Amino acid sequence: MSGPGDVEDVTPATWAVLGGRPQGGGEPVNAPIEPTSLYLAGGERSYSREDVGAASVAVEDLVGGLEGGAALGFASGMAAVAAVFEQLPVGSAVAIPDDGYQGVRMLAERGARLGRWSLSTVAVTDTEGWQEALLNCDLVWLETPSNPLLQVTDLAAVCAAPRRDGCLVVVDNTVATPLRQRPLDLGADLVVHSATKFLGGHSDLLAGVVVVRDDDLRAALHHTRTLTGANLGLLEAFLLARGIRTLPLRLDRGEANAIALADWLGSHPAVTAVRHPGWAALLSFDTVGTADDVDAGLARLRVVHHATSLGGVESTCERRAAVEGQGHLPPTLIRMSVGCEDLADLQTDLARLLDPLAA
Which residues are tagged catalytic? 49, 101, 172, 197
In this complex, which beta carbon is closest to ligand PLP, that of residue 83 or of residue 161? 83
In this complex, which beta carbon is closest to ligand PLP, that of residue 197 or of residue 268? 197
Distance CA 256, CA 254 (A): 6
Is position 318 an interface residue for ligand PLP (rule: CB under 6 A)?
A: no
For the chain, how far is it from start to end, CA to CA, in angstroms?
A: 66
Minimum CB separation of residue 193 from ligand PLP in Å reads 8
- Interaction pattern, residues 121-150, with ligand PLP; x per rule: CB under 6 A: ----------------------x---x---
Is position 208 an interface residue for ligand PLP (rule: CB under 6 A)?
A: yes
Query: Cβ-closest residue to ligand PLP?
Result: 77
* Range in contact with ligand PLP (rule: CB under 6 A) among 52-60, 110-118, 158-166, 190-198: 190-198
> Which residues, 146 to 185, sit near ligand PLP by CB under 6 A?
147, 172, 174-175
Is position 76 an interface residue for ligand PLP (rule: CB under 6 A)?
A: yes
In this complex, which beta carbon is closest to ligand PLP, that of residue 188 or of residue 357? 188
- Out of 105, 116, 197, 250, the only residue in the binding site for ligand PLP (CB under 6 A) is 197
Distance CA 172, CA 193 (A): 6
Size of the site for ligand PLP (CB under 6 A): 16
User: 74 - beta bridge partners?
Assistant: 208
Minimum CB separation of residue 56 from ligand PLP in Å reads 16
Minimum CB separation of residue 210 from ligand PLP in Å reads 12
Question: What's the Cα-to-Cα distance from 129 to each of 96, 135, 249, 295, rounded to whole Å?
Answer: 11, 10, 36, 37
In this complex, which beta carbon is closest to ligand PLP, that of residue 271 or of residue 338? 338
Is position 77 an interface residue for ligand PLP (rule: CB under 6 A)?
A: yes
HSE of 62, CA atoms in CB hemisphere, 13 A: 33
Number of CB atoms found within 10 A of residue 113's CB = 9
In this complex, which beta carbon is closest to ligand PLP, that of residue 63 or of residue 78? 78
Is position 101 an interface residue for ligand PLP (rule: CB under 6 A)?
A: yes
Minimum CB separation of residue 84 from ligand PLP in Å reads 11
Instruction: Establish whether the linkage from the previous residue to 97 is cis, with ω within 30° of 0.
Output: no
For residue 157, report the phi and psi dihedrals to the nearest 5 degrees: -70, -40
Contact residues toward ligand PLP (CB under 6 A) are 76-78, 101, 103-104, 143, 147, 172, 174-175, 194, 196-197, 206, 208
